[in-house]
Amino acid sequence: MFAKRVSALAQSPTMAIDAKAKAFKKQGIPVINLSVGEPNFQTPEHIKEAAHRAITEGMTFYTASEGILELREAIATKFKQDNNISYDPSQIIVGTGSKQLLYCAFQVLCDPGDEVIIPLPAWGTFSEQVKLAEGKPVFISMNSPFKLTAQDVKKVLTPRTKILLLNSPSNPTGAIVDPDELEKIAALAIKEKFFIITDEIYEKLVYTQKHVSIASLNEQIKEQTITINGVSKSYAMTGWRIGYAAGSQKVIAKMKALQSQLITHASSLSQVAAVEALIGDQKPLAAMKTEFVKRRAFCIREFKTLKNISFAEPEGAFYIFFSVEKLLGEQYPTATAWAEALLEKEKVAVIPGEAFSYPGYIRLSYSASMEDLEEAITRIKQFIML
Ligand code: PLP
C-alpha cells in the first residue's frame, strides 16, 4: 500500500521515548526525562517580547519563502562574526528548524544510489533523510572517543560518493572534529569532488576548544559546503522551529524552490523572534552555557563512579554517550531492553544506542535541571545495583 520510499520509515525513536516519558508525567508518575535534546530553559524574555510586538504590529501575513531579509541579514552577520564566513543574504535560507533544511539539502543533492557518508554513532534522522532522498547511507563506524579523521573518510570513498555529513559537536557523542582533521577532510572533499553537509546546531555548546566551521577554511570548500544551523539549542527556542542553511547560490536557490513547494516559509512570528535572538542581548546565552558547564562537570564526575559503565568525556553539546555493554546479558540483552527497564523500574528516560546505529550504548541528555540530574544519577545507581 505504501510507497517504497516510506515503507521502512519509522517515527523518530527519540520523539517516541520523549512522548512516553511525557505521558507518564501527565499521569502523575515522577519520571525524569533525559531523552530529548531540549534545553530546559525558557526562551529569553526579550525574544518573547519581540514576537509579542510582531503580533501587535500585524506581522501575520506570508513572508518571502526563503525568510525575511532582516533575518537573513542577521544570519549573515552571525556567520561573519562567529565563524568568519562571508555569505550574502541570498546565500541563506530560513526554514522550520534545521531538520527540515537538512531534508531539503539531501533532496536537492541526491540522485538514486548516490552515496552519503555518515560517521557513526549518528543522529538517526540523517540516514532516514538520505533514504527518503533515495540516496545510500554509507557508514563509518567510529570507536570511542568518536573523533572523525580524514583517513576514516578516505577508506569509504567510492566513485558514487556525493556527500560527507559532518556533525560537530556531535549528537550523541559530543565529540568535535579536530581542526587539523577538518583541514584534511576539506582537502579530500576538494580533490575527490564531494559535498559537505555540516550540521553545526551545537556550535555554541563547546567546552574544550573553539568551534571551527569547515566552510571558513577556504573559498573552494565553502563553495562545496552547506552549513546547517538554527536557534533551537543555543537560544532555548526548540518550539519556535527556526533553522537556517547557507551555501553556494546554486544549491541554496534549489533548496528555496523546494521549500516554496513544501512549507511556503517558516512562521513569520518565529522569524521575528529569531532576529532578536541573533542581534539582541547575548547575555542569556552565556548564562545558559555556564549552567551547561556545571551540569557537564557534574555528569562526568558522577559517571566516573559508576561501575561497569564507560564513556568518553563529551567536548560539546549536552549529551553523555556511555557504554552499558558490560551490563548486558540474559536479563537485558540489548541497550534498548536496558533503557526500557530503566524507564519502567526507575522512571528515567534515556535513548538507547540503537537509535544512533550504535548498539550497546545509551545517550543521556543533561539539558535538564541540576535537581533532575542528581535524582536521575541516584536512580541509575540504584538500577545498576539491582
Ligand atoms: N541536528 C541535530 C544534530 C540535532 O540533534 C537536532 C535535534 O535534536 C537537530 C538538528 C534539530 O534541530 P531543529 O530544532 O533546528 O530542527
pLDDT in tens, 161-194: 999 999 999 999 999 999 999 999 999 999 999 9
Looking at the structure of the chain, the number of domains it has is 2
Which residue's CA lies nearest to atom 12 of ligand 1? 98
Final residue belonging to a domain, choices 279, 305, 336: 279
Question: For residue 141, what are the β-bridge partners?
Answer: 120
The best mutation among 14, 38, 98 to test binding of ligand 1, ranked by most ligand atoms within 8 Å of the C-beta, falls on: 98
Note whether 267 and 295 are same-domain residues: no
Q: Are strands 225-230 and 243-246 parallel, antiparallel or unpaired?
A: antiparallel
Structural domain including 24 reads: 4-43+283-384
The torsion region of residue 12 among left (phi > 0), alpha (psi -120 to 50) and beta comes to: beta
The best mutation among 123, 198, 240, 357 to test binding of ligand 1, ranked by most ligand atoms within 8 Å of the C-beta, falls on: 123
Cβ–ligand 1 distance for 65 under 6 Å, the answer no
Task: Please report which confidence band the pLDDT of residue 386 belongs to, taking 50, 70 and 90 as the band edges.
Answer: low
Nearest to 147 by CA among 130, 163, 167, 164: 167
Note whether 18 and 150 are same-domain residues: no
Nearest ligand 1 atom, CA 170: 3
- Higher local confidence (pLDDT), 364 or 10: 364
How confident is the prediction for the chain on average, in pLDDT? Answer: 96
Note whether 204 and 79 are same-domain residues: yes
Could you tell me which residues come within 8 angstroms of residue 16 by beta carbon, excluding any fewer than 6 positions away? none
Note whether 134 and 154 are same-domain residues: yes
Final residue belonging to a domain, choices 231, 257, 279: 279
Alpha helix (H) residue ranges in the chain: 4-7, 13-26, 45-56, 69-78, 98-109, 124-132, 150-156, 179-192, 219-223, 249-262, 268-279, 283-304, 335-341, 370-385
Note whether 75 and 55 are same-domain residues: yes
Quick one: pLDDT at residue 225? 98
Quick one: pLDDT at residue 5? 87
Quick one: pLDDT at residue 1? 86
Final residue belonging to a domain, choices 249, 264, 279: 279
Integer Cα distance of 39 and 292 in angstroms: 9
Cβ–ligand 1 distance for 124 under 6 Å, the answer no
- Is the predicted pLDDT of residue 146 greater than 80, yes or no? yes
Task: Please report which confidence band the pLDDT of residue 21 belongs to, taking 50, 70 and 90 as the band edges.
Answer: confident
Cβ–ligand 1 distance for 227 under 6 Å, the answer no
Nearest ligand 1 atom, CA 100: 16
Note whether 10 and 87 are same-domain residues: no
Q: Give the CATH number for residue 33.
A: 3.90.1150.10
Note whether 103 and 235 are same-domain residues: yes
Note whether 101 and 225 are same-domain residues: yes
Nearest ligand 1 atom, CA 317: 5
Task: Please report which confidence band the pLDDT of residue 22 belongs to, taking 50, 70 and 90 as the band edges.
Answer: confident
Q: Give the CATH number for residue 245.
A: 3.40.640.10
Quick one: pLDDT at residue 11? 75
Q: What is the pLDDT of residues 125-139, one digit of tens each?
A: 999 999 999 999 999
- Higher local confidence (pLDDT), 217 or 24: 217
Note whether 172 and 145 are same-domain residues: yes
Note whether 177 and 156 are same-domain residues: yes
Please, what is the Cα angle at 13 between 383 and 315, to 5 degrees? 70
Note whether 53 and 174 are same-domain residues: yes
Note whether 110 and 35 are same-domain residues: no
Percent of the residues in the chain that have a pLDDT greater than 70, as a whole number = 100
Quick one: pLDDT at residue 207? 96
